[in-house]
A and B are shown apart, each in its own frame.
Chain A
Amino acid sequence: MITIHSNFRVIALLPKVLLLEWEEQPSEKLLEFLLSYKAVIEKQIKVTRCVMGYQSLMVHLLEDIEKLDWWKQHLNKLLIKTKKQKQRKGKHWNIPVCYDLDHAPDLATLANAVQKSVEEVIALHTQKPYRIYFLGFLPGFLYLCGLDKQLHFPRKEKPLLEVPKGSIGIGGMQTGIYPNSSPGGWHLIGRTPLSLFDAKLQPPCFAAPGDWISFKSIDSKTFEIIDKQSNQGTYQIKPYD
């Protein structure tokens, strides 16, 4: 059963764009509700697309809004349908990460700053699965929740101009994977040889909101092997339940 979160405001952002925003703090309960509600909206309303945030849904309509009150009522009616919605079972993905210093330029600094050994940081980072809330920032960038409090650490004052593709970072309360090389202000504590995004694949990104990912520590030799397979397109990541 889905718990209904009926306390949200509806804003007309543009004549064809509605923004639904919940005031409560992001949580797995809210995430699961948003995923179900989004599925109902996409089925029941003529939309071009529906985009998620931590506590919001942006709904792009085919027609003009005209009367906002009518939409508010209609969206409330759809809440009831959401209740009956079957919960989508999230998939689990294991992401191989090499925490060797070659691939982790900031690991020692971060460990020092949070008063842990490098091994303890790796243990804390790999011990629990993280929930995917939504995607944004870059194609294939996953917003993850579940970073252990002991690893929370403010972002760098000066962002790096070019973070290598596949880098695993920690910034504030978050951890994440850079799906492509880009500027970035997070502390880099490891690197995955996996491709998080490939426009030639269908779907381009294997992971989806509601899924879980776990980081698995690998040595640099395994990194090279998977990296090679990944580049040749022969490495296949498989989910488990």
Chain B
Amino acid sequence: MIEILQHGIYTSIQDMGRFNHQCIGVPLSGALDQQAFRIGNQLLNNPDKAAALECTVKGPKIRFHQNTYIALTGADMRAQLNGRRVSSYTPIEVHENDELELGKAQNGCRTYLTIAGGIKTEKILGSRSQFKGLTREERISKKILLPIGHSDFKPVKGVHLRIPKTAFHKKTIEVYPGPEYPLLDKIQQKALAKNKFSISKLNNRMAYQLNQKLQHQLPQIWTAPVLPGTVQCTPDGSLIILMQDAQVTGGYPRLFQLTDEALHLLAQKQTDDEVQFSILPSVE
């Protein structure tokens, strides 16, 4: 078991998400930076889908009720174990009654705390990812004990994994043209490729809205399936990038679709961070 003593700004249990229930309106959910999450599990020899804590902007304070191993990936939150700094992207041995405290993100936005054996809370529709109306709690909002799975993990000395770390400073977000992109004129298309955009305050697990608008005359569309990484354009020109907790259908014109890598990078951006679209040719 681990005990959450302080929950930080926004901490939730996440795994790979729910895959097979979009047809009944269930969002995908799951870790926003799937790459950092996956590496966290790999470092501990966990199954890919083992659930972890996703910590946002400022992390939680945790007490361990058993000996185990953990790993921290994604943003650097200056983690301290019993008051001493510990490194990210490597297995960390912890003992019963140890306390781990995560501070503010120094780079990026989200840190993943993986635990050998994974977090074993309730599984709803194939996933432990917290979501309003599905799991009992939509995030961790109070002192709580979380059960941990069994693991025989022992780090092998001398083995170094080659780890792809997120380039937090990178601003380029690679996108494919969306269904309504060809309806924009050349000037609008150029503006989207050339201009820099900044992340508005309206950014969360459902969507990231951008501060700059795009003047357009795009028609409304009939409600259609959308995905995490779909860039929608509202009638007033706001650009909204959907994230893992987004609705499964949407009725706004779709300008772009982010690549998986771009989506992971975006998940590490905070309010006022800048991004620039790099438009890839469509698959032909």
Instruction: Tell me whether A and B are bound partners.
Output: yes
Among A14, A50, A140, the residue within 8 A (CB) of B257 is A14
Are B284 and A137 neighbours in the complex by a CB distance under 8 Å?
no
**Which of A13, A19, A51, A197 has the most C-beta atoms of chain B within 10 angstroms of its own C-beta?**
A13
Which of B24, B224, B248, B282 is the most central at the interface, judged by chain A CB atoms within 10 Å of its CB?
B24
Within 8 A of B (CB), among A43-66: 48-58, 65-66
Chain B's nearest CB lies how many Å from the CB of A15? 6
Check A55–B224 contact: CB distance below 8 A. Answer: yes
Q: Which residues of the partner chain B approach A140 to less than 8 Å between Cβ atoms?
A: 24-25
* Minimum CB–CB distance for A112 against chain B, Å: 28
Q: Is the CB of A15 within 8 A of B283?
A: yes
Chain B residue at minimum C-beta to C-beta distance from A19 = B179
B residues less than 8 Å from A143 (CB atoms): 223, 249
Query: Given A199-B124, A203-B24, are A137 and B249 also a contact pair (CB < 8 Å)?
Result: yes
Chain B residue nearest to A207 in the complex (CB): B24
- On whether A139 and B133 interact (CB within 8 A), knowing A49-B19, A51-B22, A199-B125, the answer reads yes
Q: Mark A24-49, 1 if CB is under 8 A from B, else 0.
A: 00100000000000000000000011
A180 in contact (CB, < 8 A): yes
If A14-B176, A21-B224, A55-B224 touch, does A136 touch B257 (CB 8 Å cutoff)?
no
CA distance A19 to B26 in the complex (A): 19
Across the interface, do A68 and B134 meet the contact criterion of CB distance under 8 Å?
A: no
Contact of A136 among B25, B125, B133, B229 (CB under 8 A): B25
A15 and B229 alpha carbons, distance in the complex (Å): 13
With known contacts A58-B225, A140-B24, A12–B134 Cβ distance under 8 A: no
Contact A56 B125 (CB under 8 A): no
Q: Contact at B283–A12, with CB atoms within 8 Å? A: yes
Within 8 A of B (CB), among A1-26: 11-15, 17, 19, 21, 26
B161 at the interface (CB under 8 A from A): no
Asked if A11 contacts B284 (CB within 8 A), the reply is: no
Kindly provide the distance from the CB of B127 to the nearest chain A CB, expressed in whole angstroms.
11
Answer yes or no: A108 CB below 8 A from chain B CBs.
no
**What 0/1 readout, one digit per residue, does chain A (60-94) give for beta carbons within 8 Å of chain B?**
00000111110000000000000000000000000
Give the interface size class of chain A: 35 or more
Interface positions of B from 255 to 284, Cβ below 8 Å from A: 257, 259-260, 282-284
**Could you tell me how many residues of chain B have their Cβ less than 8 Å away from some Cβ of chain A?**
32
Are the C-beta atoms of B227 and A68 separated by less than 8 Å?
no
Q: Is B14 interfacial (CB-CB < 8 Å)? A: no
Complexed CA–CA distance, A36 and B124 (Å): 29
Contact with A along B26-42 (1 / 0, CB 8 A): 11000000000000000
- Is A55 touching B284 in the complex (CB atoms < 8 A)? no
Chain A residues within an 8 Å CB radius of B134: 139, 199
A12 to B284, CA, bound (A): 8
- Roughly how many angstroms separate A56 CA and B124 CA in the complex, as a whole number? 28
Q: Does A138 contact B (CB under 8 A)?
A: yes
B217 interface residue (CB < 8 Å to A): no
**A17 in contact with B248 given A12-B284, A52-B23 (CB within 8 Å):** no
Within 8 A of A (CB), among B1-55: 19-27
Question: Contact between B179 and A11 (Cβ–Cβ < 8 Å)?
Answer: yes
In the assembly, what is the distance between CA of A197 and CA of B132, in Å?
A: 13
Complex contacts, A179 vs chain B, CB 8 Å: 25
Within 8 A of B (CB), among A120-155: 134-141, 143
Given A58-B225, A136-B223, A139-B133, residue A204 in contact with residue B21 (CB < 8 A): yes
In whole angstroms, how far apart are the Cα atoms of A66 and B284 in the complex? 7
List CB contacts (< 8 Å) of A138-181 with chain B: 138-141, 143, 179-181
Output the nearest chain B residue to A138 by Cβ-Cβ distance: B25
The reply to whether the CB of B114 lies closer than 8 angstroms to some CB of chain A is no
| Contact A13 B178, beta carbon cutoff 8 Å | yes
Q: Indicate whether B247 reaches chain A with its CB closer than 8 angstroms.
A: yes
User: What are some 25 contacts across the A-B interface (CB < 8 A)?
Assistant: A11-B179, A12-B284, A13-B176, A14-B227, A26-B222, A48-B20, A49-B19, A51-B249, A52-B23, A56-B222, A68-B284, A134-B23, A136-B247, A136-B248, A137-B247, A138-B25, A138-B133, A140-B24, A180-B132, A197-B24, A199-B124, A199-B125, A204-B21, A204-B125, A205-B25
Q: Which residues of A contact B (CB under 8 A)?
A: 11-15, 17, 19, 21, 26, 48-58, 65-69, 134-141, 143, 179-182, 197, 199, 203-205, 209
Chain A to chain B: the 9 pairs with minimum beta-carbon distance, closest first: A136-B249, A53-B224, A12-B283, A58-B225, A54-B222, A51-B225, A135-B25, A180-B133, A56-B224
Extra contacts besides A67-B284, A197-B24, A204-B21 (13): CB < 8 Å: A21-B224, A26-B222, A53-B249, A54-B222, A56-B222, A65-B283, A69-B284, A135-B25, A136-B248, A137-B247, A179-B25, A181-B133, A204-B24
